[in-house]
């Protein structure tokens, strides 16, 4: 499980647009290493062609769309299913995470996503 504290980087990942995203789990810790409770938080991630692109290729928000918060509320998992991924064309993209807690917005990091064109389709 990766940690988002201190480093503003998510793991770079390669996924296919015909399959479920391999689940990635992250905790959020303060500068003292204390893991933040995600109770009452919303975690959001968008994928875009570039950081300044106005078009969103994939928009994930917990708890309903592709991001879940663990039962103990200490971690979140990114894992959109194949139906969500099918809307994203093959290419190299960027993503970032925003965590909203009440009126506070926290930056969770950024990384790159390579989406491969799926070959096996039904």
For residue range 60-84, list pLDDT tens digits in order: 999 889 999 999 999 999 999 999 9
pLDDT for 3 equals 47
Please answer whether residues 61 and 43 qualify as being in contact, where contact means their C-beta atoms are separated by less than 8 angstroms.
Answer: yes
Alpha carbon distance 28, 75 (integer Å): 7
CB atoms within 10 A of CB 96: 17
Q: Compute the radius of gyration of the chain from its Cα atoms.
A: 14
Q: What does the pLDDT read at residue 100?
A: 94
Q: Do 41 and 99 touch, CB atoms closer than 8 A? A: yes
Assess whether pLDDT exceeds 90 at residue 50.
Answer: yes
pLDDT higher than threshold 90 for residue 56 = yes
Q: Which helix (H) or strand (E) holds 117?
A: none
d(CA 15, CA 29): 27
Indicate the domain borders of the chain.
2-116
Identify the pLDDT of residue 8: 52
How far apart, in whole angstroms, are the C-alpha atoms of residue 91 and residue 103?
35
pLDDT above 70 covers what percent of the chain?
93
- Does the domain at 2-116 match CATH 2.60.40.10? Answer given as yes
- Nearest partner of 44 among 15, 64, 29, judged by Cα: 64
pLDDT band at 30 (very low <50, low <70, confident <90, very high): confident
Q: Stretch 86-112: mean pLDDT, rounded?
A: 93
- Residue 60's nearest CA partner among 39, 90, 80 is 80
pLDDT reported for residue 10: 82
pTM (2 d.p.): 0.87
């Amino acid at each position: 499980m990766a940690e988002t504290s201190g480093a503003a980087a998510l793991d770079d990942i390669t996924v296919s647009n015909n399959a479920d995203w391999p689940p990635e789990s992250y905790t959020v810790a303060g500068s003292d290493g204390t893991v933040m409770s995600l109770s009452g938080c919303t975690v959001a991630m968008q994928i875009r062609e570039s950081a300044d692109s106005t078009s969103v290729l994939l928009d994930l928000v917990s708890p309903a769309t592709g991001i879940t918060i663990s039962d103990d509320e200490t971690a979140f998992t990114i894992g959109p299913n194949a139906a969500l991924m099918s809307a994203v064309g093959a290419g190299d993209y960027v993503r970032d995470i925003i965590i909203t807690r009440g009126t506070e917005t926290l930056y969770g990091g950024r990384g790159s996503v390579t989406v491969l064109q799926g070959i096996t389709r039904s």
